[in-house]
Amino acid sequence: MNSGSNQQPVVDPSREAPTLIEVQIDGIIGPTHHFGGLGIGNVASLANQAKHSHPKAAALEGAAKMDQVASLGVPQFFLPPLVRPNWDFLIRCGWIDSKQRFDRSEQADALKRCADESPALLSAAYSSSYMWAANAGTFCPESDAMDGVSRLVLANLSSSLHRGMEAVERYLQFTDLFRGVETVQVCLPLPAVDPLRDEGAANHMRFAAPPSSKSPLGLHVFVHAATSVGNTFRSRQSSLASRTISKFMRLPLEQLIFAEQSPEAVDAGVFHNDVIATSNRNLFLYHEKSFLNADSLVQEICIKYESLFGTPLHLLRIDDAAIPLQEAVRTYLFNSQILSLPHGGMHMVCPVQCEQSTAARELIGNWIDDARNPILGVSYAHLSESMANGGGPACLRLRMDWPAGWLSPSAPPFHASYRWDERASQKIKEWIHRFYPDRLATDDFQRIDFADHVISAVRVFPLRG
């Protein structure tokens, strides 16, 4: 595996393009899952701030969703939870003297002082936001890059107090996941400065040919928002970050589009593109108020798509009259997980809120009944705890298109410790039942015995690389 470098692309026209297989990588929901209200522009997170959370139920809901996906034959992987509270973060913020970092009485005192004087900072140190793996980074398969190298650019997550600390930790995890693979490059995040704020694949869509085509190419759409997008919420993805990531990935211009979010959507709680628009291969599902100058953008996407693949893109445009912005945000219809099935066709994993919404449920039913639509079926996931923090099925996973060789039986088992199968599901659920609290209040964060417990729990996670 190569780590981040800025070497110039070397195009090899004779290289054989690989067959790609869609892979899902979910973040295991951690034992400190709570409602800190720290998500900028995330209306669910803000509305539920300081309410009691239920970490055990949350983690089991996430595990059940992975079971659903794996049962459909889609390769499912996971990322272990990160250690929280993050003592290094509290040290860097001045709450603990680095010389006394292992002094238990110093730690206990720091937790109590921080809870009294800076509760948001303590909430950030305990955050389980790494569960939303869609923000971990942006991936480009080798077939799309001019130099034939797959790249994962880790997100710096610099716009949020509680998320920026994840970047280096995720770099270490993905470096381990891809160990021994020479054709993938795990790239360190962009510098954590405001003009380069990046929140990963939640603001990126990759279109590809329909399953009947053998073309491995992808059309990449990077979505950002203006620096000042509206009257209420600030943008979390910058144009400069998106353009810089596209350069990292060595993408040719004919496979690249940049789009801007609608200010109205951002102010309605669309803090990431995947709350209001999504894609899967030759399918584009979007709300009419997703983008600035939406009609011209969609036309550009359709023209580039057809020029690449010789077939039209399948559009599912949802008008505001059918699903108003507020209902789209409440149900997270557009954050449904659209899966490519191994034998063709697609399947949607939707939040149960979509099933409970008459308008959303009828729309989904019409898509499935339409023989021209690639969506063949739907299942509903109960993700009440994640949804209460503004994270639906697609937020919990990072989707990648891997060369088939990475998953072949003859390939080195570089990913064996991260594969979700029956054994992993059973062991991880047993671990969750043993260590996770049923109920959690933010007042628990100032207790050193609670900190000791959750740190010990993560350190004995049953499956390690």
- Catalytic residue check, 395: yes
State residue 57's pLDDT score.
98
* Assigned domain for 5 exists: no
CA angle 125, 131, 132 (to 5 degrees): 110
Integer Cα distance of 223 and 245 in angstroms: 12
DSSP conformation letters of 136-193: SEEEE-TTTSTTS-EEEEE---TTSTTTTTHHHHHHHHHHHHTTT-TTEEEEPPPPSS
In a domain, 94, yes or no: no
Residue ranges making up the domain that contains 390: 21-86+126-459
The residue annotated as part of the active site, out of 142, 199, 260, 288, is 199
The whole-number pLDDT of residue 464 equals: 64
For residue 187, what pLDDT is reported? 96
Distance in angstroms (rounded) separating the CA atoms of residues 241 and 194: 10
Which is catalytic among the residues 54, 162, 204, 272? 272
pLDDT for 411 equals 67
**What is residue 445's DSSP assignment?**
G
In a domain, 391, yes or no: yes
Q: Is residue 13, in this structure, part of any structural domain at all?
A: no
Residue 192 lies in a domain: yes
Report the chain (465 residues): mean pLDDT per 10 consecutive residues.
Answer: 45 58 96 86 73 96 98 96 96 88 90 95 96 97 95 95 92 91 92 94 95 85 76 80 96 96 89 93 97 96 96 97 94 97 95 97 97 96 94 96 85 77 97 98 96 97 76
Number of domains comprising the chain: 1
173, 136 contact by CB (below 8 A): no
Active site residue 347: no
Q: What is the DSSP letter of 395?
A: T
Q: Which of 54, 220, 395, 415 is catalytic?
A: 395
| Whether the Cβ atoms of residue 178 and residue 184 lie closer than 8 Å to each other | yes
Whether residue 119 lies inside any domain: the answer is no
Cα–Cα distance between 452 and 108 in angstroms, integer?
A: 10
Q: What local confidence, expressed as pLDDT, does residue 7 receive?
A: 41
Query: How are beta strands 337-340 and 314-318 bridged, if at all?
Result: unpaired
| Contact (CB, 8 A) for 259 and 297 | yes
How many whole angstroms separate alpha carbon 21 and alpha carbon 210? 13
CA distances from 135 to 139, 203, 427 (A): 11, 9, 26
Let me know if residue 260 belongs to a domain.
Answer: yes
pLDDT of residue 49: 78
pTM listed for this prediction: 0.93
In a domain, 102, yes or no: no
Could you tell me the CATH number of the domain that includes residue 154? Answer: 3.75.10.20
The pLDDT score that the predictor gives to residue 231 is 54
pLDDT at 50: 72
**DSSP code per residue over 70-110:** HHTT--EEEEPPPPSS-HHHHHHTTSS-GGGTT-HHHHHHH
Contact criterion met (CB below 8 Å) for 356 and 364: no
